Structure 1
Amino acid sequence: MGRDSPPPKAEAEADAHEGARRASWMRSVVIMVGVGAAVVLAAVYATALIAPVPRPDATLHQTGADADDRLLLRMESEGQESGAPPRPGYGGGEQEIDLSTLSAYGTFRGFEIWSAMNAFEAPCLIAFHRATDDIVARSCVPAGTDLFVDAGWPGLAPGEQLRFLLRNDTVEAFLLRPVGPD
């Protein structure tokens, strides 16, 4: 038997046995990785189902209603106590809300919700309480940030707040309640 001759039969069987063992080990590794991935996915899914996610008490949609003179006058008068009159067509004091962009979202617990853009191209959210003729809350933030306003009101229980959150073309309304002692 020379150096270039094929291995003896016993050596060939040992090589075949080693190859089978290696293939079996690889299958085990693949199965373990698959089972591990399935466990991780199941845990993520279960957490998503179990974790408390705040749900809005109402979802308001754009109504297409135009702002009436009462709202426009109230918006124009906002910030006048500072002594600087607003630019024509703008309201909301220093936020310079463009009144021509007002868009209605309906009413929740007596608050009319409106969105608009300001002079700086930032989206704004306004909560108007028509019964008292009061702009209760207004906020403008740079585009891409969560835009919300909070409104407290005597008609709410102690510690409660209303939160209005603009999400794309809807406003989610939440009644925020204080957390009691555990």
Structure 2
Amino acid sequence: MDGSSSAPDSGPESLELTAGSPRPSDPERELDELRARAYGPDADIEADPAAMARLVELEAAHLAAATAVRAGGSAVGAAPVPAAAPAAPTGDTRPAPARRPPRRAWAVVGATVLVGVLAAAVWNLVPRPDATLQQVAVEADSDIIRVLSAQGRGPVASTLHRFELYHDVRVWSVEDHAGKVCFIVWDLAASGRFSIKCAPPGTEVALTLSVAREADEFGHWLPDGSNVDFRFRENTVDVFVRPPAG
């Protein structure tokens, strides 16, 4: 060694990146450049449609990547495009007149209303029973069987049906040996009145007891001259009270 200090290297010094500072990727550098052209003091991107399109593409990719990182790697779908607002009306802004229903529609409505009115009128005209008597249990050795047998009507005891009382009036039906159905009403409490009528099965039969104060006490709860009709059906008896005539 000659003791002389060595001269410093005259070559150019090499610049090294600071540790932990990654080099920007090409798309990032391109995005920065396009942002400068779009938002910087010397913005000139409006004159370059291709550059504007590329900026939009890179901005969208950058936003998607950032969103995916925040969401843990799952990208968020794009928001739906809102529907366009309706155009402002031009010219006459008066509301359009309401459409009148066609004549046929009015005819259908009128016919429906008429049918409803007629149905209500018919319902009010059809008489409704003052009472409906249901079947009840009957004794096998009923007195009515003995009475009918004594009259020679030949009742079949197994076909006997008894109905609920109407005041003190008892009501039955029974088949005879000729195959007819006999209907009986019997006021055992006040007057002892007895009425019977036999008819083929399925025939509607009505028996009437009239209120006559001079004769007996039947119908003491009704005005003198009233009539009580017992109309027999298959399993029930409807009772209709008719007021005195006039």
TM-score per shorter chain, which class?
Answer: 0.5 to 0.7
Is contact 2:163–2:236 with CA below 8 Å preserved after alignment? Answer: yes
* CA radius of gyration, larger in: 2
What does residue range 138-157 of structure 1 map to in structure 2 within 5 Å?
138-152=196-210, 154-155=216-217, 156=219, 157=223
Q: Calculate percent identity across the aligned residue pairs.
A: 26
Provide the aligned C-alpha RMSD in A: 2.8
Residue 10 of structure 1 corresponds to none
User: What CA distance in whole angstroms lies between the structure 2 residues aligned with 1:143 and 1:160?
Assistant: 29
Q: Is the 8 A contact 2:180 2:200 kept in 1?
A: yes
Looking at secondary structure, tell me which structure has more strand per residue: 1
Matched, 1:115 2:188: no
Query: C-alpha separation between the residues in 2 aligned to 1:163 and 1:77?
Result: 26
SS at match of 2:186: strand
Work out which of the residue numbers 101, 104, 115 in structure 2 matches 1:41: 115
Q: Which structure 2 segments of 5+ residues have no match?
A: 1-100
Contact 1:66 1:102 in 2 (8 A): no
What is the SS of the residue equivalent to 1:62?
Answer: strand
Per chain length, whose mean CA-contact separation is higher, i.e. which structure has more relative contact order (CA < 8 Å, sep 6+)? 1
* Aligned position for 2:144: 71
C-alpha distance in 2 between matches for 1:40 and 1:144: 35
Task: Return the match for 2:105 from 31, 42, 53.
Answer: 31
Is the 8 Å Cα contact of residues 126 and 135 (structure 1) preserved in structure 2?
no
Counterpart of 1:171? 237
Q: Give the aligned length.
A: 139
Cα offset, 1:29, TM superposition: 4.7
Query: Per the alignment, do residues 114 and 135 of structure 1 end up closer, same or farther by CA in structure 2, a change over 3 Å counting?
Result: farther
TM-score, structure 2 normalization:
0.48
Please say if residues 101 and 116 of structure 1, whose CA atoms lie closer than 8 Å, have aligned partners that are also in contact: yes
TM-score (normalised: structure 1): 0.62
Partner of 2:245: helix, strand, or coil? coil
**Equivalent in the alignment of 1:62:** 135
In structure 2, relative to structure 1, the CA distance for the partners of 1:102 and 1:34 (3 Å cut) is same
Q: In structure 2, give the amino acid aligned to 1:76.
A: S
